[in-house]
Every structure is written in structure tokens, then in C-alpha cells.
Amino acid sequence: MSSKIKIHIRNNHWKEGFLPCDAEGEKNNTITKEEIEKGFDQYPELRDKVEYVIDWDDDNFVSSMQSADILLGWQFPTQDLKQIAPNLKWIHVISAGVNHLSPFDWMSEDLVLTNSSGVHAKKAGEFGLMSILMLQNHMTRIVTNQKNKEFVSLLGKPIEGRKVVVVGTGSLGGSMIKHISKLGADVIGINRKGKDVEGCSKVITFDKIDDVLPDADFLYLAVPETEETKGLINKSRLDKLKSTCGIVNIGRQSVLDYEALRIKLQNNEIAGAILDVFSQEPIPKASNLWDTPNLIITPHISSDSEGNYIEMVLKIFFKNLKLFTDNKELTNQIDRNLGY
């Protein structure tokens, strides 16, 4: 009987209404033997301690997980996992968000769940900078005018002095803040503890959000889905925003009332919006969002890097694998009570 640590690596084929939601997404999120072997090249001392199985969906999940110590993947069945995988000690998720696994009552007390937070930061920061500058320069309106064959002069000012309210100042929001603050924007950060953030003129807690919304020139949402963030930007809070305010959401749809936002965009009560995340992806063709004026839809690409996403994820995973074999505490652990 093998005494090696067994890792089950689970890939998912793309399908409608699921992540990955297209062939390109599947390609970008597939963990291959080649990428795993590159990881062992960086940590050769782990080769003799570990064995791994690369699998797809539910093909061999139940049989393989019976002896697995570690699960690496994104989506997997959680029902009866304690019985299916009695030896399971650690799960690493290849995304930053783990809301698709919530609630976490399927986890045993000693099971450790880690995520890939931080891997998205550089790309997300650049996407966020682009999005705010697009809104500052009326690009959402310009694209709508182009669709309507209307040539209208829409002039903009530099971003300096504009107030950007950022809800969620972790790796994603924090990366954008560093960029936009260097251009002279006045950034107000909002996070759970009111902890200081580089580039912010001040930071407040979620419960103080109503104090800053009326002054926002831009509202930038970069929070995960948790019980605390679901429904955070509802209709009443959207009503507090200036009609000249622009909105970006790279977090989760559940944070923002999309229908209320759609109506406001339709009525010119919000200047423009860029939405990158949706509860159902791809968005149904019958969705009213497609034809909403002054709205740019991006297909959940704000933080995924082309070509090397899995390589970056595996850097986090192998660093933790070394800690795991040394019986040390893992990084990027999820607090199941907070949901991130």
C-alpha cells in the first residue's frame, strides 16, 4: 500500500450556464500533466512524497477520492464528501472566489480550504484602471451612440480629483487603487474592518457606505459573495448616487441589483456601467442587459490572464504543498464563517 500523499486533480469541461462557460475558458483553466511536472521541477524534493491523478468532471471522482488526501480543482460535488473522501485533508480551489461551494456545512472541522487569491491581482488592476478611465471618458455612452449611428461630442476631464469609491480593497480592488491613485484620483476604500489601504485617502467599513455614495464619481465593486455583501448595492443605495456616477463590478452579481441598475441606465440616471460578472454565464440571449444603453458587458475576463493562469495558480498550490508536507500552516486559507 502506497504511503505517498495522493492528490486528485479535477478539471471541468465547459458547458452552457457553467464555468468554464466556453472552449477558451476551458483551455485557460485546464490543469495538465505538463504544468504539474513544471511545479515538481521547482520542488524536486516533493516528487517522492506525492502521487497525483488528473481527471475530468465525475469520470472517476468517487473511486479516486476514496484514497485522496488533497483535492485540486474548481467545481466538485460536495454532497456526502466526508463519506466519499474519508482521508481528505486539504482542498485548493483554482479561483479566488469560493461562493459556489457555500454554505460550507459539507466540510469536516479539520478540512482545510485554500484559494488562489492574489493570482488575479495584476490583470485585475489593469482592467480596473481601464474601466474607470473608460467611464471618465464617456466610452459607455460613445459605444451606445455608435450603435445608434450618432456622432456626438462627449468631452471629458483628467481623472485627477475625481472621487472613486472602491468596495472591496483586497488583492483585486487594491491593485486597481494603486493605479488610479497615481493619476491623482481621490480614492475612498470600503472593507470589512476599515483597515488602511495604500492609495486611499480614507477607508471606512461597510456600514458607513451610505455616507460616501452621494459624493462618488465612480463606484467600483470588487468584493466576493458573502452573507455580508449580498444585496449590498440595492436600489435605495443606487438612488443615492449622482446621475453622473459610473459603476464597475468585477466582484459578483449578487452584490449589485442589476435590474435596478438597468432601469437607471435606461432613464439616464446613471452615467454608465461596466459589468464583468453575472449569476448566469453566458448571459441568456433574451436578457434585457444586452440592449441596455450606456452599458458595456465583458465576459468575466477582468482578472484571468491569457495563457499562464494555471501556471500562476500552481505556484500558490506548490508553495502550500511544501508547507503541507512539512506539517506547517497553509497560506490563503478560507474562513468558512466569512466565506473568503
The answer to whether position 340 is within a domain reads no
Q: Give yes or no: residues 106 and 150 share one domain.
A: no
Q: Which of 278, 297, 316 is the last residue of a domain?
A: 297
Instruction: Dump pLDDT digits (tens) for 172-206.
Output: 999 999 999 999 999 999 999 999 999 999 999 99
**Which grid cell is 102?**
457555500
Identity at 87, one-letter amino acid code = N
Give strand pairing partners of 72: 9, 92
Q: Give yes or no: residues 315 and 291 share one domain.
A: no
Residue 319 phi/psi, 5-degree rounding, is: -60, -45
Q: Give yes or no: residues 145 and 244 share one domain.
A: yes
Whole-prediction pTM value?
0.84
The answer to whether position 337 is within a domain reads no
Q: Quick check: 33 pLDDT over 90? A: yes
Q: Which residue has the higher pLDDT, 135 or 305?
A: 135
Average pLDDT over residues 129-150: 98
Q: Give yes or no: residues 64 and 134 share one domain.
A: no
Question: What pLDDT shows up at residue 1?
Answer: 40
Q: Give yes or no: residues 91 and 157 share one domain.
A: no
Q: Give yes or no: residues 142 and 277 share one domain.
A: yes
The answer to whether position 334 is within a domain reads no
Instruction: Dump pLDDT digits (tens) for 211-252.
Output: 999 999 999 999 989 888 999 999 999 999 999 999 999 999
Residue 100 phi/psi, 5-degree rounding, is: -70, -10
* Alpha carbon distance 314, 320 (integer Å): 9
Q: Give yes or no: residues 145 and 262 share one domain.
A: yes
* Alpha carbon distance 277, 96 (integer Å): 14
Q: Quick check: 120 pLDDT over 90? A: no
Q: Quick check: 169 pLDDT over 90? A: yes
Q: Quick check: 6 pLDDT over 80? A: yes
- In a 3-state reduction of DSSP, which class is residue 137? coil
Task: Tell which residue, 314, 332, 337, 320, has the closest CA to residue 31.
Answer: 314
Q: Quick check: 277 pLDDT over 60? A: yes
Q: Give yes or no: residues 35 and 180 share one domain.
A: no
Instruction: Dump pLDDT digits (tens) for 286-317.
Output: 999 999 999 999 999 998 767 688 999 999 99
Q: Give yes or no: residues 235 and 128 share one domain.
A: yes
Average pLDDT over residues 269-273: 98
- In a 3-state reduction of DSSP, which class is residue 265? helix
Question: What pLDDT shows up at residue 307?
Answer: 64
* Alpha carbon distance 255, 225 (integer Å): 7
Q: Give yes or no: residues 44 and 190 share one domain.
A: no
Q: What domain range is 276 assigned to? A: 121-297
Q: pLDDT above 90 covers what percent of the chain?
A: 84
Q: For the chain, what is the domain count?
A: 2
Q: Give yes or no: residues 114 and 145 share one domain.
A: no
Q: Give yes or no: residues 37 and 71 share one domain.
A: yes
The answer to whether position 335 is within a domain reads no
- CATH number of the structural domain spanning residue 34: 3.40.50.720
